Structure 1
Amino acid sequence: MSELFSLVAELRRPRLLIRAARAGLQEYNRNRDLKRLTRLADAPSPDRALRLLIEEEARIEATRKAGEAGYSLSRHIELLIAMMGELRLLPRPNGA
């Protein structure tokens, strides 16, 4: 699980995206939001959810960097919010 913390810690995204995600974190509702973001019937465990969210966020980040018209700023922020919310649910690795 510490690899998930490392993956998220190594992300480098524009400051405005991160600030927007932090601002929206208070409104995060995992039962409502995860079902929509992961397109699953039930919310998965936090570690499984985080893995799925990291994969999807990487895809949308590539779309953003390529300047493609299909990029959705709101979806990107929603994914970052969910990643932050799920990360908070994971047990901290030793030394963190």
Structure 2
Amino acid sequence: MSDLNSLLSSLRRPRLLIRAARIGLSDYRRDRDLGRILQEEGQTTAHLALDALITAEAEIESIRKAGDVTYSARRHVEILIALMAELKLLPQAPAQSC
């Protein structure tokens, strides 16, 4: 879990992409959107969805950085929205006391 949190906190993306994803977060519905974004059918756990979303986001980020004409900002924002929403579904680790 801490590896996932550190990975996500280390992501550096353009501010506009992050702002758009945060705005779209309120409209995200897992049952409607996750299958379409992952292009898969059926239910999946938050952990499996996060793994797939992290992979998809890394791929689209490399396309963006390469300046490839196949880059879709809309798709990138959709993936980021799903990534943020799925992260919220994970159980939070209890705070460790010193």
Is this a same-fold pair by TM over 0.5? yes
Percentage of identical aligned residues: 53
Deviation at 1:54?
A: 0.4
Aligned residues: 96
TM-score if structure 2 supplies the norm length? 0.92
Partner Cα separation in structure 2 for residue 3 and residue 93 of structure 1: 12
Give the equivalent residue in structure 2 for 1:88.
88
Greater C-alpha Rg: 2
Q: Which runs of 4+ in 1 moved over 4 A?
A: none
| Counterpart code for 1:58 | A
The answer as to 2:97 corresponding to 1:70 is no
- Unpaired segments ≥5 residues, structure 1: none
Question: Within 5 Å, which residues of 2 pair with 1:13-32?
Answer: 13-32=13-32
TM-score if structure 1 supplies the norm length? 0.94
Q: Is the 8 A contact 1:57 1:79 kept in 2?
A: yes
